[in-house]
Amino acid sequence: MLKIEGLHVHYGSIHALKGIDLEVHTGEIVSLIGSNGAGKSTTLNTIAGLIDASAGKILFGDDEVGYKEITGVPPHKLVRMGISLSPEGREVFPSLSVADNLRLGAYTRSIRGAEVNRSFERVYDLFPRLKERTKQAAGTLSGGEQQMLAIGRALMSEPKLLLLDEPSLGLAPTLVSLIFSLITEINQQGATILLIEQNANMALSVSHRAYVLETGKISLSGDSREVAGNPRVKQAYLGSA
Measured CA distances, 71 to 48, 97, 184, 232 (Å): 9, 34, 28, 33
CA distance 211 to 191: 19
Going from N- to C-terminal start, the domains of the chain cover 2-237
The pLDDT value given to residue 112: 63
* Span 61-73, pLDDT tens digits: 987 888 999 999 9
Contact 126, 185 (CB under 8 A): yes
Residue 28 CB-half CA count within 13 A: 20
* Span 186-226, pLDDT tens digits: 999 999 999 998 889 999 999 999 999 999 999 999 999 99
DSSP state of 140: G
CA dihedral sign, ordered 230, 234, 240, 241: positive
The CATH H-level superfamily of 2-237 is P-loop containing nucleotide triphosphate hydrolases (3.40.50.300)
Report the alpha-carbon angle 50-54-57, nearest 5: 80
> Given a cut of 90, is residue 171 above it in pLDDT?
no
Residue 145 neighbours by CB under 8 Å, 6+ apart:
129, 130, 133
Backbone torsions φ then ψ of 60, nearest 5 degrees = -135, 135
Name the more confident of 64 and 51. 51
> Given a cut of 60, is residue 241 above it in pLDDT?
no
